[in-house]
Amino acid sequence: KTVSYDFNVTWVTANPDGLADRKVIGVNGVWPLPVIEVDKGDQLLVNMYNGLGDKSTSIHWHGMFQNGTNNMDGASMFTQCPIPPGSSFTYNFTINQNGTYWYHCHTDYCYPDGYRQALIVHDVNAPFINDYKEEFTITLSDWYHEMMEDLSKEFMSLYNPSGAEPIPDSFLMNDGQNRTFSVEPNTTYLLRIINTGNFIAQYFYIEGHNFTIVEVDGVYTEPQEASTLYIHIAQRYSVLLTTANTTDVNYKIVTVADQDLMDTIPSNLQLNNTNWLVLNADAPLEQAVVTVATSDDLVPFDDFTLVPTDGMALLPDPDIQVNVTVYMVNLMTGYNYAELNNITYTAPKVPTLYTALSAGDLRTEEVVYGEYTHPITLAHNQVVEIILNNGDSGSHPFHLHGHNFQVIQREPPLGPLFNSYLDGDPIGYDPDNHTAFPAIPIRRDVIVLPPQGFTVLRFVADNPGVWVFHCHIDWHLASGLAMTFIEAPELIPTHVQIPEDHYAACAAAAVPTVGN
């Protein structure tokens, strides 16, 4: 079936944390935005009109592979022009995946102004489909009282030479709505949990309960019990929760912000957030602050131990290795805070997809895409390995468009300090030593690159198109922590033409569609 939406995107006023009114990006005059729910196999059609008046926009369908529909990926200046105020754009694609996703604006400094929400793909064949009574979606996010445009000016100014990211003003669950979940005792529910924030990873637990993980980033996994999740930006989990066999008390659903990501913690910043699992509607909900001292007291579930139910084996040795290192640099050096190797990603003048479609025989030459886009061309069906090093002392949630990846190596727990940062040697890893991992590696589409650590990812280049690989912290994406995979450009299907509204958007934005 076809699921259709008309999105009239405008500024509206909201106050989700009860602390401050602010302008947010609403749809059809409402915020929070609609949760999009489809069934696997559905066609999703979203007609978007940009009524913001002062800001360009686009929508990325986070985790959707867009196989054959690269032009629907929504990544500004990778696959389309940003849609200027007063213009329309239609997103139209078929969803052959399942699980928990989200959608968000993918134009500079945009989604943390509120333009993000859950996208749920129901699947009658999910292995856990008969195991629960009802499902709930829980989004977690950091929240700023100032507009991204104002914050970004402060962030990028010479008064902030160290590149310290703005500290959120609060943390939200479900954008401040749906604070209580009415449940029956001894009954199983499916919870879908998504971090839709800009910057801060969060811990998640439910007082008095363990739960069973069954999905990670759209990948079904063998059930594994857990008590606490660590969910970085853009990551998702589905868990089965069996409620306590009592109607005497209600239980707290707790999130705790990862304070290690913040350079300073204002004394009035409430790091914890509470919703309620309500077993007894007559019992009062205590509003007391949750008694977790700090995020350092929590021990989260290790996602590397999850095993996909589809049993996809470890990919063979790679045909191409891409060795990248994150460096956060000082603005005073003239750089834009962030580099992968020695490149600060800078958007091209023409969306990279259009260059791929118009460059003829030169389309497989990286040089036509511009060095500053950090282009890597891939041949069809190559096994690609990304060795991702972190020369920074903060963690980074890295996301690949168009794919998920196997996570095949990482820094051992309590591993060595990141020595390549200090002495210029590549960090060592042993591709044959998987003893620390299950034989079938986890696949997901956002991985936490640990502080001063590394991780090794593999995927097959089986999806011709232009795909971004980037840190999902919006401050870091905007400051250049991104690169571009141009995958088998000669095989981008001929129906991936640039639709009329693409051209119209580019024309309205005064962006050329050909040449570079």
Number of residues that bind ligand C2O (CB under 6 A): 11
Q: Which range binds ligand C2O by CB under 6 A, 150-158, 454-462, 464-472, 506-514?
A: 464-472
Going through 179-319 in order, the beta strands assigned E by DSSP cover: 180-182, 188-195, 202-206, 211-216, 219-226, 228-231, 236-242, 251-257, 272-278
Distances (CA, A) of 187 to 40, 133, 481: 26, 7, 44
Q: How many C-beta atoms surround the C-beta of residue 86 within 10 A?
A: 11
CB of 378 to ligand C2O, least distance (A): 18
481 touches ligand C2O (CB under 6 A): no
CB of 480 to ligand C2O, least distance (A): 14
Site for ligand C2O in 39-68 (CB under 6 A): 60, 62
234 touches ligand C2O (CB under 6 A): yes
Distance of alpha carbon 183 from alpha carbon 36, whole angstroms: 23
CB of 75 to ligand C2O, least distance (A): 6
Q: Which is nearer to ligand C2O, 104 or 403 (CB)?
A: 104
Of residues 457, 468, 483, 492, which one binds ligand C2O by CB under 6 A?
Answer: 468
Burial 9-32 (b: 16+ CB within 10 A, else e): bbbeebebbeeeebebbbbbeebb
Residue closest to 339 by CA, chosen among 351, 347, 329: 329
106 touches ligand C2O (CB under 6 A): yes
Q: Which is nearer to ligand C2O, 51 or 218 (CB)?
A: 218
Q: Which is nearer to ligand C2O, 398 or 437 (CB)?
A: 398
In the block, tokens 């996301």 appear at: 399
Q: Which is nearer to ligand C2O, 59 or 368 (CB)?
A: 59
399 touches ligand C2O (CB under 6 A): yes
Angle at 154 between CA 151 and CA 155, to 5 degrees: 80
Distance of alpha carbon 206 from alpha carbon 175, whole angstroms: 19
The answer to whether residues 223 and 214 touch, using CB atoms and an 8 Å cutoff, is yes
Q: Which range binds ligand C2O by CB under 6 A, 47-55, 240-248, 467-475, 491-499?
A: 467-475
Q: Minimal CB distance to ligand C2O: which residue?
A: 62
Of residues 55, 104, 363, 443, which one binds ligand C2O by CB under 6 A?
Answer: 104
In the block, tokens 């003239």 appear at: 334
CB of 264 to ligand C2O, least distance (A): 27
Q: Which is nearer to ligand C2O, 58 or 452 (CB)?
A: 58
Question: Rounded to the nearest 5°, which phi and psi values hold at 232?
Answer: -85, 175
Q: Which is nearer to ligand C2O, 236 or 252 (CB)?
A: 236
Q: Cα Rg for the chain, rounded, in angstroms? A: 22
Distances (CA, A) of 135 to 36, 255, 463: 14, 19, 32
Q: Which range binds ligand C2O by CB under 6 A, 21-29, 80-88, 186-194, 468-476?
A: 468-476
Q: Which is nearer to ligand C2O, 399 or 403 (CB)?
A: 399
Interface positions with ligand C2O (CB under 6 A):
60, 62, 75, 104, 106, 234, 399, 401, 468, 470, 472
